[in-house]
Amino acid sequence: MAILVTGGAGYIGSHTVMELLENRDEVVVVDNLVKGHKNAIKGGKFYCGDIRDEDFLDRVFKESEIEAVIHFAAYSLVGESMKDPIGYYNNNVRGTITLLRFMKKHGVKNIVFSSTAAVYGEAKNVPITEDDDTCPENPYGESKLAIEKLLKWASDSLDINYIALRYFNAAGAHESGVIGEDHDPETHLIPIVLETALGRREKIIIFGDDYNTPDGTCIRDYIHVMDLAQAHLLALDKLKKDGESGIYNLGNGKGFSVKEVIEKSKEVTGRDIPVEIGNRRKGDPHILVASSEKAKKELQWKPKYNSLEKIIEDAWKWHSNTH
């Protein structure tokens, strides 16, 4: 029996595939390679195709004995979603609907779903717990929240069990340095800072230094991609064991400002990182920090790499050596 990983050629997907392979799980990856990279898949069986393509998906389920699904495939850029809300709903929501239909058809019950801190919008509490209000400020977050709600109804009446993992800011890379974060275009802070350290970008623009935070720049909760990967395996275990659906935050519970990330990156890389203060980016909440107590308690999740320094070191290893 195999684990089907949609979006397994992408950043978090490829790291989770590594973790599954290291755990000796059988893996089937589905990815249309619109954003992912074939060479990031380090094992298992690969199908190149779109999860909205019914014949394709039916064939994948027919040809492999699928035990459970980890569902990463989605568009995930806030800014892009503001410009193309229909495209975002089409890929994220329609893709999940098609996936659920074929899971149902082939008798596959368990799914772990990639959700996001973007479902919260401007948070009222620090740290944020899973019971806090959800009020997304962009179509990307809305599409993920719509899927969470769909999963809830599907679990109530269709015998589908789900765990939705609301990731905060995924960062870092596999310790080996063989895979890492490789988005095009890259919009995330840590890879942009490291590309600047390497001289591939002239400078990093800080999106606003007039927020209500100690140094005026936004605060985020950065979580090592391999700690995220581990959580997916634990979520699968839990679904297999008790079939109980649920929603879990995944973060470090510690926030770092944009300026702090840049300072730490200067220390780790020993390079100069030129900075310019720019305008605020639309839709950026001033602070997002997770409480992950529920995941620690119920999934027995034990993050191993929870220092900003380690996250930047691993990302740097990949960016500076192999990218």
Residue in 11, 89, 140, 222 annotated catalytic: 140
Give the whole-angstrom CA distance, residue 238 versus residue 125: 28
CA distance 89 to 85: 6
- Only one residue has tokens 């590309």, namely 195
162 neighbors 151 (Cβ within 8 angstroms): yes
By CB under 6 A, residue 16 contacts ligand UDP = no
Binding piece for ligand UDP, criterion CB under 6 A, among 48-56, 203-211, 233-241, 292-300: 203-211
* Under 8 Å between Cβ of 29 and 9: yes
Count of CB atoms within 10 A of residue 139's CB? 24
Structure tokens at 294: 């529920």
Contacts with ligand NAD by CB under 6 A lie at 6-7, 9-13, 30-36, 50-52, 72-74, 76, 91, 95, 114, 116, 167, 169-170, 183
Neighbours of 10 (CB within 10 A): 29
Secondary element (H or E) of residue 11: helix 11-22
204 binds, among ligand UDP, ligand NAD, none (CB under 5 to 8 A by kind): ligand UDP
Q: Which of 187, 279, 321, 322 binds ligand UDP (CB under 6 A)?
A: 187
Residue 248 annotated in active site: no
Q: Does 182 bind ligand UDP (CB under 6 A)?
A: no
Q: Which does 16 bind (CB under 5 to 8 A by kind): ligand UDP, ligand NAD, none?
A: none
Tokens 């027995």: give the residue. 300
Report the residue number whose CB is nearest to ligand NAD. Answer: 10
- Residue 187: which of ligand UDP, ligand NAD, none does it interact with, CB under 5 to 8 A by kind? ligand UDP
Radius of gyration of the chain (CA): 19
d(CA 307, CA 180): 17
Residue 284 lies near ligand UDP (rule: CB under 6 A): yes
CB-based contacts of 244: which residues, under 8 Å, 6+ apart? 161, 238
Sketch the per residue contact string, 72 through 101, with ligand UDP: x for CB under 6 A, - otherwise. Answer: ------x-----------------------
- Residue 134 site contact among ligand NAD, ligand UDP, none (CB < 5 to 8 Å, cut-off depends on kind): none
Q: Rule CB under 6 A: which residues touch ligand UDP?
A: 78, 169, 187-189, 192, 204-207, 218, 220, 258, 281, 284
Residues labelled as active-site residues: 140
